[in-house]
């Protein structure tokens, strides 16, 4: 209980320093952003922004509306379609410098949400970046032995990056990520695994101390909501099936062979083909230059010690 109170106090102080007159929050209705919304709403009249793809199963909408109602937030929702997707992709891929489908799908929702908030007058946005990495929110991490969890977390801390900052900069928006402030980050890194992973009614949960610290202050559906990746929560995961139908097998085979034979780039699926061709236009083809290991699927230089290619998403490499 003492550590939970300490965490609440630190988050309250940290979030309070992030809030000014034109501050908004990208609200997914997940645990992380809901906690930040709870703290920020104590300081100012906060605007919350949620995005979802038209026609998709986008559970973030349901939970964001629940949180907004609970905290009496001014809640704005943007439902976007393929027209907005096609307009955004060249700008987004140029900012990111990648054609990894998962990164593009996740960051697309952030890009559209930030643009939506900018049009509404927000000049500062609060995001939940860092909570999953610091407090063991990913199920591929917390469903392991304590020793393995600790090892995997330390690796994550050494390589974690967040597209929100580059996207925010492109809009002239100041992005505030309270979980990444040194005080919170240091506290999280010092905690034992037993404070990050716990079991409730037979089910394992990550971010245990965050859940317990705000239990009773936010609706139970929010406190015990399982981790939902941005692409699933906003519905951008449906882009994979959309491009699978949109591009013929003949065209895909032709382009895939061309890019492999000419440039040594292996295209895994039709969605990646779309992003790669945009990448070539706005960034240029990946270059097999520079020191260090190169990705066997796209030739880009890999970060030292990395098992994952940030440019194309290949794993393991």
| pLDDT, tens digit, 9 for 90 and up, residues 204-236 | 999 999 999 999 999 999 999 999 999 999 999
pLDDT value of position 305: 74
Of the listed ranges 119-123, 204-208, 236-240, 289-293, the one predicted with least confidence: 289-293
- Answer left, alpha or beta for residue 125, where phi above 0 means left and psi between -120 and 50 means alpha: beta
CA-closest candidate to residue 225, choices 27, 26, 30: 30
Q: Which long-range contacts (CB under 8 A, 24 or more apart) does 38-41 make?
A: 38/71, 38/214, 38/217, 38/218, 39/11, 39/12, 39/15, 39/178, 40/15, 40/16, 40/126, 41/71, 41/72, 41/73
How many whole angstroms separate alpha carbon 193 and alpha carbon 151? 11
pTM of the predicted structure, to 2 decimals: 0.95
Give the pairing of strands 198-200 and 203-205. Answer: antiparallel
Give, in order, the Cα–Cα distances in Å from 311 to each of 76, 145, 190, 302, 315. 33, 31, 32, 9, 11
CB atoms inside a 10 Å sphere around CB 109:
25
Closest by CA position to 132, among listed 79, 38, 205: 205
pLDDT of residue 291: 72
**How many percent of the chain have pLDDT more than 90?**
89
Burial pattern 180-196, b for ≥16 Cβ within 10 A else e, equals: bbeebbebbeebebebb
Query: Shortest CA distance to 167 belongs to which of 231, 228, 109, 100?
Result: 109
Order across the sheet with 47-53: list the strands. 74-80, 47-53, 23-26, 124-126, 174-176
For 125, phi and psi rounded to 5 degrees? -130, 135
82: confidence class by pLDDT, cuts 50, 70, 90: very high
Q: What's the token pair of residue 241?
A: 């099936």
> Domains in the chain, ordered, with CATH?
2-237 (3.40.50.620), 247-317 (no CATH)
Q: Are 79 and 95 in contact (CB under 8 A)?
A: no
Distance CA(230)–CA(225), nearest Å, equals 14
Cis peptide before 51 (omega within 30 of 0): no
Averaged pLDDT score across all residues of the chain: 95
Of the pLDDT bands very low, low, confident and very high (cuts 50, 70, 90), residue 303 is: confident
Q: How far apart are CA 80 and CA 88, in angstroms?
A: 11
> Tell me, what's the pLDDT at 285?
87
Inform me whether the pLDDT recorded for 143 exceeds 90: no
Of 235, 246, 296, which Cα lies nearest the Cα of 270? 246
């Amino acid at each position: 209980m003492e550590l939970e109170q300490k965490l609440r106090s630190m988050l309250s102080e940290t979030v309070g320093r992030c809030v000014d007159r034109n501050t908004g929050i990208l609200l997914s209705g997940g645990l992380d952003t809901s906690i930040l919304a709870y703290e920020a709403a104590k300081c100012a009249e906060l605007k919350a922004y949620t995005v979802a793809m038209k026609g998709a199963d986008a559970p973030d909408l349901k939970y964001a509306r629940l949180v907004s109602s609970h905290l009496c937030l001014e809640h704005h929702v943007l439902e976007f379609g393929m027209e907005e997707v096609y307009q955004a992709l060249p700008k987004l891929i140029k900012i990111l410098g990648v054609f990894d489908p998962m990164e593009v799908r996740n960051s697309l929702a952030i890009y559209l949400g930030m643009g939506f908030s900018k049009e509404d007058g927000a000049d500062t946005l609060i995001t939940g970046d860092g909570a999953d990495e610091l407090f063991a929110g990913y199920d591929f991490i917390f469903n392991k032995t304590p020793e393995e969890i600790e090892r995997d977390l330390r690796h994550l801390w050494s390589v974690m990056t967040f597209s929100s900052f580059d996207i925010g900069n492109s809009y002239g928006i100041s992005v505030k990520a309270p979980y990444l402030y040194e005080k919170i980050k240091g506290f999280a890194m010092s905690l034992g695994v037993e404070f990050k992973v716990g079991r409730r009614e037979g089910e394992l949960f990550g971010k245990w101390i965050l859940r317990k610290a705000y239990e009773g202050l936010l609706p139970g559906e929010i406190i015990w909501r399982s981790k939902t990746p941005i692409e699933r929560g906003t519905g951008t995961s449906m882009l994979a099936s959309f491009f699978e139908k949109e591009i013929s097998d003949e065209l895909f085979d032709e382009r895939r062979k061309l890019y492999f034979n000419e440039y040594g780039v292996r295209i895994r699926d039709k969605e990646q083909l779309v992003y790669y061709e945009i990448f070539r236009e706005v960034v240029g083809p990946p270059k097999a230059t520079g020191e260090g290991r190169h990705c066997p699927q796209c030739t880009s230089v890999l970060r030292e010690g990395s098992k994952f290619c940030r440019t194309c998403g290949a794993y393991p490499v």
